[in-house]
Amino acid sequence: MSAQRGNPMIQKLTSDERVQQLAKLNGWQAVANRDAIQRSFQFADFNEAFGFMTRVAIKAQEMDHHPEWFNVYSKVDITLSTHEASGVTERDIELATFIDSITA
């Protein structure tokens, strides 16, 4: 059940669905006091971190689903939540899965 671009009925995952989906991801954690997921990445240097962010940005633009992120030198923190649904949706899981695939 993947949400399509322009779908007005983007559904927030239930607590059980979120737990099941998080278990399939690598290192993603629920954010305390917020319906979102988060992961931190450490790279060799700024160039490697920026290259990673560029790949994520291209995918995010294709999906029309943009992460919240923070970068300092070789560290990138990413938080995913679907604002239209006020929480974690399949769109977040899809983007997190892509991110995992390029950092494996």
Q: Which CATH number covers residue 72?
A: 3.30.1360.20
In a domain, 86, yes or no: yes
Q: Answer yes or no: is 3 within a domain.
A: no
Number of compact structural domains in the chain: 1
- Range(s) of the domain holding residue 92: 15-103
Flag whether 1 is in a domain: no
> Is position 19 within any domain?
yes
What is this structure's pTM? Answer: 0.88
Query: Per the domain annotation, does 6 fall within a domain?
Result: no
**For the segment 79-102, what is each residue's pLDDT rounded down to a tens digit?**
999 999 999 999 999 999 999 999
Q: Is residue 35 part of a domain?
A: yes
Longest dimension (CA), the chain: 41
Tell me the CA distances in angstroms from 26 to 37, 40, 65, 69, 85, one per residue in order: 12, 11, 20, 17, 23
56 part of a folded domain: yes
pLDDT of residue 104: 79
The contacts of residue 93 (CB under 8 Å, 6+ apart) are 13, 21, 24, 25
For the segment 24-57, what is each residue's pLDDT rounded down to a tens digit?
Answer: 999 999 999 999 999 999 999 999 999 999 999 9
Residue 10: what pLDDT?
Answer: 85
Q: What is the pLDDT of residue 3?
A: 42
Report whether pLDDT(8) > 60. no
Flag whether 5 is in a domain.
no
